[in-house]
Amino acid sequence: MAEPSSGDSGPYALLDVPACAARVRAGAEARGGHYLLGVDGPGASGKSALAGQLARHLP
């Protein structure tokens, strides 16, 4: 279960992966088309799963 953080729309809001990927792409295009996106967190926290989901939406 996700922990709440500032900006969440509810106590346990989920990340909108397609929208997040769109923001990354738009930001990259504004800066010349390149990006490096990192996913960090404690062990067994779902980093690989999140990275995989993001990779499906990013070129």
The domain locations on the chain are 17-57
Across 3-7, 18-22, 28-32, 34-38, least confident range: 3-7
- Is pLDDT above 60 for 54? yes
- Is pLDDT above 80 for 3? no
- Chain centre distance of CA 38: 9
- Chain centre distance of CA 5: 14
Mean pLDDT over all residues of the chain? Answer: 82
7-31: pLDDT as tens digits: 555 566 788 999 999 999 999 999 9
Instruction: Please tell me whether the overall predicted TM-score, pTM, comes out greater than 0.95 for this model.
Output: no
Tokens representing 10 are 């509810």
